[in-house]
Structure 1
Amino acid sequence: MAAALPIELAEWFAARGWRVRRHQLDMLAAGAAGRHALLVAETGAGKTLAGFLPTLADFTPSVLGGAAPPEGLHTLYVSPLKALAHDVQRNLLAPVAELGLPMRVETRSGDTPSDRKARQRARPPHVLLTTPESLSLLLSYPEARQVFSGLRRVVVDEVHAFAAGKRGDLLSLSLARLQAFAPGLQRVALSATVADPIDYQAWLAPEGDPAAVTLVEGEPGVPPVLEILLPDDARVPWGGHAAAWAVPQLYAAIRAHRTTLVFTNTRFLAEYIFQLLWDVNDDKLPIGIHHGSLSKEARRKVEGAMARGELRALVCTASLDLGVDWGDIDLVVQMGAPKGSSRLLQRIGRANHRLDSPSKALLAPGNRFEFLEATAALEAVAAGQRDGEAFRPGALDVLAQHVMACACAEPFDEASLLAEVRSSTPYRWLDAESWDRVLQFVATGGYALRAYDRFRRIVRDRHGTWRLAHPEQAARHRLNAGIIVDSEMLEVRFRNGRSLGRVEESFGATLAPGDTFRFAGMDLEVEGVRDLELVVRAAKRAGTIPSYMGARLPISTHLAERVRGLLVDRAGWGRFPDDVREWLEMQDWRSRLPGPGELLVESFPHEQRHYSVIYTFEGWNANQSLGMLITRRMADRGLAPLGFVANDYALGVWGLKPIDDPAPLLSPDILTHEFLDWVQDSHLLRRAFREVAVIAGLVERQQPGQRKSGRQVTFSTDLIYDVLRKHEPDHMLIEAAWADARTRLTDVGRLAALLDRAADELVHVRLDRVSPLAVPVLVMIGRESLPNGAADDDLLVEAESLAGQAMRPE
């Protein structure tokens, strides 16, 4: 499959010294043939340009042939990040300007001024760059059908980043609505890290038919140059996650390169590493910070500085994982473990963003298990193996939000809308009963709540058509719609009103006037709290770094299996640092190593307590859940549990009595007994209910001119939750909350698979003292509630003490 490039575009490529890639021509051909297409190509392969080539071609003089350019919205570009949309706009404007194409390109997100949004509805640009949430809101306006009726193409960038989650559900529903408005619409998706293309072809296709989507594979690029950083004494730390030991070497690398992008896995670590870098920045190099809690102004400022090549380094989180193209970056550093080969590929691809030049990256592991994980990730990248999230049925709370958006735009016939919804792949499962439950929920709030007028949002008229119960419902929906439900947040502002970003209410509640904390790379002193704002001024002394309640990134299943393989590959240990090799050799001699297909449990006494360590390799979230369940079962069996501690690789539990047989503690029925009791008794289900209630529109976060505090939202959702638990336990939102609690909040799917295997794979080893492999998890006891990295220095003393016992040969 190939297509000829319009002469204007061919000359533009030639003027820049670029070769048109085969996959770019294939995408042009798919566009000309009217085919939906999924492009899977390496970072730096010109994916975004490939996605836009058919659009650019449509506006060239040779294609127009003297005719007027197309009117109205021609192409919609959807990205998971606002930063990516703005970056694409900058890069797309270059060929538009240089070729003199009669094309207007604009962005639309939560940061777009309201007057510009109104103008875009009245006079849309030819190309609109947006996010799934902003697209859904745009579809909720009465003008939506007119705005989108002439739409030719939708380009979904970095599709792997959200297709399998709730944002993907929302976007898939929006695509179904767009296809109804513009039946000839072409769907295009782009990604560098798709593990199974067929799943994504099915997600992208109308009616879920993967054969309807052409798969275009990119040309291979130059392999990246990857290196694992080691301490100068080549002794990899026992515990910790921040890799703070690597900061002097990191600073030396920054000095030796033009521009360095430093990735961390959490917002806390971004602030922490940024602070440590400034402590050693004797040369006063321009170093910035970027994460999702910073204000729009702060993020735009640093993004602009990077685009202009004014920064030597930028410390960031996943807020810059995807697609951002800053050509001057010649080094990427990953602080701590990468957690997945696909995520690592995305991040290292930010360096030398060109297919013919190797990306260069350094990985700084925080501890010995993270060293093995980094090694496994490097080998996975070299082997071309990717990991990704599994797809699951579309969520009911998202569907309820979409139904409300449709009603805001225009009255709807339920049979027609059901057919449209079922054309969306995540909702092909939707049966008539579930559909009716969703409609009744949107209409009345459900059986237990229908007596309250405030939950009446849509009504059926005498013709059977559904419409808004009151016009004001549309404004309320648009104020509150969205899929990302933040924790309770406080705005951080100077007295003059300048915003720095947001911190969680739970952190802000610990602060009093005069207290200091570090945020946005600055030391700040609290002046006071007013409404939902934390008023601050510059401080002269360093303070606490805010931590955030966001879920930790778990190690991927694929990467975990590779780590298991490294543990038992004795012939390969010779390439490891001496202390890592000795650690594994001593473990092999003293106990055994948990290879693939084996669930190792070690039990030993320590300081008048009885410990058991279970090597699950299922991620921190799953191990935390398992720890809570096992200690409940231990208590029921009289084993007097005292606590548990978890990391990505293992779970440690301890008590006053030994665990002689761990098999009963790990039987699958723990998920149908202790799990149900634990979830219902804990905050977990209430938190999940709060999120689905907000997404589904039952509880509003904002009212005109006023935003509710997180505590007010929690209070409202807790009251409703108690009513539904008592009077309507099968309510749609209770069901949706259970679905969330089982998956996203606990990784219970991985947990269930582990427990199903346990009976056949369990190996129990009894020891007389702590094992070498147990040290990295046990050193976190008493520190697991601290933000990642905060306890790294304190870990050293205890780690050496435990390691002394574990590594002693006699």
Structure 2
Amino acid sequence: MKTADLIAWFASRGWKPFQFQREVWKAIGEGRSGLLHATTGAGKTYAVWLGALKAFGANPTAASRHPVGRKVAPPLTVLWITPMRALAADTLRALQQPLEALLPDWTAGARSGDTPTGERLAQNLRLPTVLVTTPESVSVMLSRADAKDVLDTLKMIVVDEWHELLGNKRGVQVQLALARLRRWNPSLCVWGMSATLGNLPEAMRTLLGHHEGRIVQGQVPKQLVIDSLLPSRAERFPWGGHLGLTMLPQVIEEVANSSTTLVFTNTRSQAEIWYQAMLEAKPEWAGVIALHHGSLDRAVREWVEAGLKNGELRAVVCTSSLDLGVDFLPVERVLQIGSPKGVARLLQRAGRSGHAPGRPSRITVVPTHSIEIVEGVAARSAVAAGHIEARNTPVQPLDVLVQHLVTVALGGGFRPDDLYDEVRETVAYQGLGRESWDWCLSFVAQGGPSLAAYPDYHRVVPDAEGIWRVPDARLARRHRVNIGTIVSDASMSVQYVGGARLGSVEESFVARMKPGDCFLFAGRMLELVRIREMTAWVRRASGKRPVVPRWGGGRFPLTTTLADAVVRQLAQAGEGRYESPELQCVRPLLELQQQWSALPTPQTLLAETLRTREGSHLFLYPFAGRQVHLGLANLIAWRVAQHAPRTFSIAVNDYGFELLSATEVEWPTLLPQVLAPTDEATLLHEVLASLNASELAQRRFREIARVSGLIFQGYPGEKRSNKQLQASSSLFWEVFRKYDPHNRLLMQAEQELLAQELEITRLQASLARIATQQLVRKALARPTPFSFPLMVELFREKLTNESVADRIARMVEQLEKAAGGAVPMGNVERVKKTLAFGQESALGRDGDRVAKARRERRPSRPLPPL
């Protein structure tokens, strides 16, 4: 096939190829691998796909014929990996469009967890020429006994939305699969695609390992509009989520003035709330607005996606389930409820609108907190400066490697030395030492010294020729149905009595309910009838106040890139430069903060102290994100307690944290001491000592035990409760600690706790930055606009919504009088309404309770060295 054929196909659709598309076609034709980075909707898919058709469309096997003379489609030639099952069908449609005109002999199909059984069986006999699939399905294919024969015909692999996989274990799974496939075919062409990467060379090296590649940057003129939907009045004493649904009339107006709008939220709970609120405000929109998130039934999601594609829906309230590259041309604009908490996420969601070359993309941030207004202009400035978050691969996750060893043993077997060299070709395991490798081999062979007596953990053994295989058919079946690295809390189906399935919620949520209780789900008010066989049977309800389901995995901490941009905006305000509409809106708040205290800057660390009847307060504002602040707060409290026993209450948000002690604390003296930097080993020791590290690490271990195959989650259709899985992992945890204390999975649990839950790297960086900053300590006479939301979070923990509303309203009234301002009318009623929808907070909670704790800090015995 010639380039002219591709250009002709473009012309038939009224298009003209961009220069970057031609570059990709040329590079693929030369057999080169690489990474394509271009804006959403610029034409990345056809850049790579048409390049594949041009390079491999003349494959001689395409002309092969069936014994009876019928032409046979070429075997599997291109593997297209997508991070989400929801993307597979849409991607497949996009890939099929040019086939009829350019390569009618090629066949195309998809394989994922949603693929019907009949289609799977047909694919087991013969795979299509191009297969759209997920990382988990690729690993399942590698576990086939004939994997090498089936996949040996591959010429090219495309990894779509590489940024979504790069920084997690699913990306490590892809790295291992690519290393295996490259070993079978060294000339394999590999391309990654993304629109939101900040570290392109590292991202490409992680994708390609030690192989050379080319970065193609798609420079396509595309207008991007980032603005904010501003409240008529930004209150000077805000709290998490206080704006929230008060912005509903403006959101309704924006939706009404646009053809099709995506309303993004950061959590599924928040999506449920906003969908219901919009429907109550505009009941005539029933049927033309919809809800979309990952817990809804597949049929519901597909109906919503089809409505978006056909332009039949006015608006869809959604979560990250629609973040990625599904092509919805009718979408005119995007609203983001609350801060996106990251520049890359903002760009990704903005790209859902104007998803075509030449069409502008527009995203409007709808703040749920006054200080969040600053995040809008900060994100816009970061985009203008080209500042996007970098993503880094996890380093040597042994649970993924253990799973891969069993997968490869099923897929024809392996020789340890050969596989060791292959695994070390990946960036994730390039530093893997022989000792760790031998431990992994021992673990899959006998489960380590503490499990050697149990046959179920003798999964992989060498045969007479020295090839390691899985001889037990039962263990092979168990492994294949549990391949993957996605681990979540056990879910429970939600289904109408005698009717349709609606989706799933976390078991821990439903377990707290009793029959007759009501909850909001799938945009409906439901009454729980009974719970049976991991299914919550429900019926429609009305007239009762519902609760909103809570799901894990929905909290986004503020990224370093966006946090730094926010601090730069605050520094501009401190210099009297209110140049954007957002800063103008929030100017009364910032000026009052500066008048009563100070505004943070990149060169200063603001610390506020306050004495109230509750005790001694410290407010510190490192602007490092909620998880880092939780670690810092516990660390500082622990260090203070080494001087004298004290009890602290802790509240954190993305901007800072509060420590409250009932007894007086000499913060002017202690603060410089407890903020002093230490070496890495000492810091790790102190962080683990300051937290209930054993309990937190045990929770991480449950996920590791699942990925490594210690815990069997069950066959398809078999439900195992969260309690069962937790009990199993707890048993392994205790056995290993007692009989195998050097088990490397225990060490991994601790490492992941530090790296992911406590973000130890960011915490170290924050302490290092603090050491270079000037400490600005302000003794307060009353709470400031920045400290007020932290105080409210502690109230929420201790008091009921009713008394919290009264207390907040009274404090706001007193503070506004002190500031010389007017007190809003109906303040208590408005506060109560906001608290009723407390799940939507973006500053403090992001749809879940802010991490806070009441802990007694006493001098402890020294811990053993790490």
TM class by smaller structure: over 0.9
Deviation at 1:776, TM superposition (A): 2.9
**Secondary structure of the structure 1 residue equivalent to 2:756:** coil
Structure 2 counterpart of 1:595, from 590, 601, 606: 601
How do residues 440-519 of structure 1 correspond to structure 2 at under 5 angstroms?
440-496=442-498, 498-519=500-521
Distance in 2, Cα, partners of 1:587 & 1:233 = 16
Distance in 1, Cα, partners of 2:60 & 2:371 = 57
Out of 550-559 and 772-781, give the one that drifted further: 772-781
**Structure 1 residue aligned with 2:839:** none
**Structure 2 residue aligned with 1:666:** 675
Structure 2 length normalisation: TM-score? 0.88
Residues 613, 416 of structure 1: CA spacing in aligned structure 2 closer, same or farther, 3 A cutoff?
Answer: same
Structure 2 counterpart of 1:644, from 641, 646, 650: 650
Residues 497, 698 of structure 1: CA spacing in aligned structure 2 closer, same or farther, 3 A cutoff?
Answer: farther
Structure 2 counterpart of 1:40, from 33, 37, 43: 37
User: Are 1:239 and 1:792, in contact at CA under 8 Å, matched by a contact in 2?
Assistant: no
**Structure 2 residue aligned with 1:775:** 788
Q: 1:25 and 2:22 equivalent? A: yes
How do residues 692-711 of structure 1 correspond to structure 2 at under 5 angstroms?
692-703=704-715, 706-711=718-723
User: Are 1:331 and 1:351, in contact at CA under 8 Å, matched by a contact in 2?
Assistant: yes
Distance in 2, Cα, partners of 1:402 & 1:63 = 34
Deviation at 1:544, TM superposition (A): 0.8
Residues 64, 440 of structure 1: CA spacing in aligned structure 2 closer, same or farther, 3 A cutoff?
Answer: closer
Out of 109-118 and 237-246, give the one that drifted further: 237-246
Out of 219-228 and 269-278, give the one that drifted further: 219-228
Distance in 1, Cα, partners of 2:79 & 2:814 = 57
Structure 2 counterpart of 1:720, from 729, 732, 754: 732
Residues 711, 802 of structure 1: CA spacing in aligned structure 2 closer, same or farther, 3 A cutoff?
Answer: farther
Equivalent position amino acid for 2:424 in 1? R
Deviation at 1:682, TM superposition (A): 5.1
How do residues 59-208 of structure 1 correspond to structure 2 at under 5 angstroms?
71-97=74-100, 99=102, 101-207=104-210
User: Are 1:176 and 1:423, in contact at CA under 8 Å, matched by a contact in 2?
Assistant: yes
User: Are 2:267 and 2:554, in contact at CA under 8 Å, matched by a contact in 1?
Assistant: no
Q: Deviations over 1:44-100 (max 9, x none)?
A: 110111121123335768999978786210111111111122211122222224556
Deviation at 1:464, TM superposition (A): 2.5
Equivalent position amino acid for 1:255 in 2? A
Structure 1 length normalisation: TM-score? 0.94
Residues 220, 419 of structure 1: CA spacing in aligned structure 2 closer, same or farther, 3 A cutoff?
Answer: same
Deviation at 1:604, TM superposition (A): 1.0
Structure 1 counterpart of 2:3, from 2, 5, 29: 5
Equivalent position amino acid for 2:247 in 1? A
Q: Return 5+ residue gaps in structure 1 as ranges.
A: none
User: Are 1:493 and 1:536, in contact at CA under 8 Å, matched by a contact in 2?
Assistant: yes
User: Are 1:605 and 1:770, in contact at CA under 8 Å, matched by a contact in 2?
Assistant: no
Out of 763-772 and 39-48, give the one that drifted further: 763-772
Equivalent position amino acid for 1:193 in 2? T
Deviation at 1:517, TM superposition (A): 0.5
Residues 236, 311 of structure 1: CA spacing in aligned structure 2 closer, same or farther, 3 A cutoff?
Answer: farther
Distance in 2, Cα, partners of 1:427 & 1:604 = 50
Structure 2 counterpart of 1:572, from 562, 577, 591: 577
How do residues 753-764 of structure 1 correspond to structure 2 at under 5 angstroms?
753-761=765-773, 762-764=775-777
Task: Report how many residues are paired.
Answer: 802
Sequence identity (%): 36
**Structure 2 residue aligned with 1:742:** 754
Distance in 2, Cα, partners of 1:481 & 1:376 = 41
Residues 578, 30 of structure 1: CA spacing in aligned structure 2 closer, same or farther, 3 A cutoff?
Answer: closer
User: Are 2:62 and 2:72, in contact at CA under 8 Å, matched by a contact in 1?
Assistant: no
Out of 476-485 and 63-72, give the one that drifted further: 63-72
Equivalent position amino acid for 2:252 in 1? Y
Distance in 1, Cα, partners of 2:333 & 2:180 = 42
Distance in 1, Cα, partners of 2:224 & 2:9 = 28
**Secondary structure of the structure 2 residue equivalent to 1:283:** helix
Residues 497, 447 of structure 1: CA spacing in aligned structure 2 closer, same or farther, 3 A cutoff?
Answer: farther
Q: Deviations over 1:190-214 (max 9, x none)?
A: 011111111012112242x4xx111
User: Are 2:494 and 2:503, in contact at CA under 8 Å, matched by a contact in 1?
Assistant: yes
User: Are 2:73 and 2:105, in contact at CA under 8 Å, matched by a contact in 1?
Assistant: no
Residues 580, 233 of structure 1: CA spacing in aligned structure 2 closer, same or farther, 3 A cutoff?
Answer: closer
Q: 1:543 and 2:546 equivalent? A: yes
Distance in 2, Cα, partners of 1:525 & 1:642 = 40
Deviation at 1:704, TM superposition (A): 6.7
User: Are 1:516 and 1:544, in contact at CA under 8 Å, matched by a contact in 2?
Assistant: yes
Distance in 1, Cα, partners of 2:161 & 2:717 = 35
**Structure 2 residue aligned with 1:221:** 221
Out of 302-311 and 241-250, give the one that drifted further: 241-250
**Structure 2 residue aligned with 1:247:** 248
Residues 164, 681 of structure 1: CA spacing in aligned structure 2 closer, same or farther, 3 A cutoff?
Answer: closer
User: Are 1:84 and 1:324, in contact at CA under 8 Å, matched by a contact in 2?
Assistant: yes
**Secondary structure of the structure 1 residue equivalent to 2:284:** coil
Deviation at 1:383, TM superposition (A): 2.6
**Structure 1 residue aligned with 2:378:** 376
Distance in 1, Cα, partners of 2:500 & 2:457 = 37
Deviation at 1:681, TM superposition (A): 4.9
**Secondary structure of the structure 1 residue equivalent to 2:157:** strand
Deviation at 1:463, TM superposition (A): 3.1
User: Are 1:699 and 1:713, in contact at CA under 8 Å, matched by a contact in 2?
Assistant: yes
Q: Deviations over 1:261-299 (max 9, x none)?
A: 011111111111111111111432511111111122221
Residues 592, 463 of structure 1: CA spacing in aligned structure 2 closer, same or farther, 3 A cutoff?
Answer: same
User: Are 1:783 and 1:791, in contact at CA under 8 Å, matched by a contact in 2?
Assistant: no
Equivalent position amino acid for 2:172 in 1? D
Deviation at 1:778, TM superposition (A): 2.3
**Structure 2 residue aligned with 1:733:** 745
Structure 1 counterpart of 2:635, from 614, 626, 629: 629
Q: Deviations over 1:223-274 (max 9, x none)?
A: 2122211113455871224732221111111111111001111111111111
Distance in 2, Cα, partners of 1:719 & 1:172 = 32
Distance in 2, Cα, partners of 1:602 & 1:374 = 26
Structure 2 counterpart of 1:581, from 583, 587, 591: 587
Residues 790, 482 of structure 1: CA spacing in aligned structure 2 closer, same or farther, 3 A cutoff?
Answer: farther
Q: Deviations over 1:136-160 (max 9, x none)?
A: 1111111211111010111111101
Q: 1:389 and 2:391 equivalent? A: yes
Equivalent position amino acid for 1:596 in 2? P
**Secondary structure of the structure 1 residue equivalent to 2:365:** strand
User: Are 1:724 and 1:731, in contact at CA under 8 Å, matched by a contact in 2?
Assistant: yes
Distance in 2, Cα, partners of 1:729 & 1:62 = 55
User: In angstroms, what is the RMSD of aligned CA positions?
Assistant: 2.7
Residues 282, 793 of structure 1: CA spacing in aligned structure 2 closer, same or farther, 3 A cutoff?
Answer: farther
Distance in 1, Cα, partners of 2:376 & 2:133 = 34
Equivalent position amino acid for 2:273 in 1? Y
Distance in 2, Cα, partners of 1:566 & 1:591 = 17
**Structure 1 residue aligned with 2:844:** none
Deviation at 1:183, TM superposition (A): 2.3
User: Are 2:444 and 2:458, in contact at CA under 8 Å, matched by a contact in 1?
Assistant: yes
**Secondary structure of the structure 2 residue equivalent to 1:355:** coil
**Structure 2 residue aligned with 1:350:** 352
Distance in 1, Cα, partners of 2:185 & 2:583 = 60
**Structure 2 residue aligned with 1:262:** 263
Deviation at 1:659, TM superposition (A): 4.1
Distance in 2, Cα, partners of 1:796 & 1:389 = 40
User: Are 2:264 and 2:320, in contact at CA under 8 Å, matched by a contact in 1?
Assistant: yes
**Structure 2 residue aligned with 1:751:** 763
Distance in 2, Cα, partners of 1:639 & 1:372 = 39
**Structure 1 residue aligned with 2:856:** none
Q: Return 5+ residue gaps in structure 2 as ranges.
A: 65-70, 822-866
User: Are 2:83 and 2:135, in contact at CA under 8 Å, matched by a contact in 1?
Assistant: yes
Distance in 1, Cα, partners of 2:751 & 2:814 = 40
Out of 198-207 and 513-522, give the one that drifted further: 198-207
Deviation at 1:672, TM superposition (A): 3.3
User: Are 1:775 and 1:799, in contact at CA under 8 Å, matched by a contact in 2?
Assistant: no
Deviation at 1:4, TM superposition (A): 5.6
Equivalent position amino acid for 2:704 in 1? V
